[in-house]
A and B are shown apart, each in its own frame.
Chain A
């Protein structure tokens, strides 16, 4: 149980295009999902907290108009990188809290990540 998937696993796009990344909780419902970004040899940095049915909460320094988050259902959150540029190339990882499903409330269940390369 507690499987989180991400799609796509890898994407290469041209500068200026938009890329949508999906995060799904496959066997449980999640009211809260988190989006992280990890640059090479750096730590995971929380970008935003996504709550089902409401606006996402963005961390300081993360542009909400550039990184659009939608959490329309209890099993799906999407992150859209708009007008992507080479500096947006990174490893994007989502996670879900398991409290709603009766899973451990003291941990997050991570998706496998999406590696974005912007040319």
Chain B
């Protein structure tokens, strides 16, 4: 079983749509959780950290369910520029330490 599992997609959605991605992780000792964004042939960039209480950053909302070992990302009012691969990332300690990446979910936002 992979340490971090994601549906690879692609998710093809029209501009303005709401889209949700899910992720599960296998190690219950994981302490830190993140969503990163990776554009084609580029390095990953931190989108947002994920907190137990859930958190929101503009059009992006992240949720964490420790009991189910499940993380989600909701994107509202999708923009063309949101097209990318979204990586679910966990760490046993902090994000400044070893990170375990999922394979990513590809999003394509279309006109």
Contacts and interface: CB of A to CB of B under 8 A. Distances in A.
A55 to B, nearest CB: 16
A112 B43 contact: yes
Interface string B32-59: 1010000001111110010000000000
A25 interface: no
A7 interface: no
Interface string A29-60: 00010101000011111100100000000000
A8 interface: no
Nearest to B96: A97
B95 A108 contact: yes
> What secondary structure prevails in chain B residues at the interface with A?
loop
B94 A106 contact: yes
Interface stretch (B60-68, B74-82, B101-109): B101-109
Contact of B103 (A34, A41, A113, A115): A41
A22 B96 CA distance: 20
Interface of B: 4, 8, 32, 34, 41-46, 49, 87, 94-104
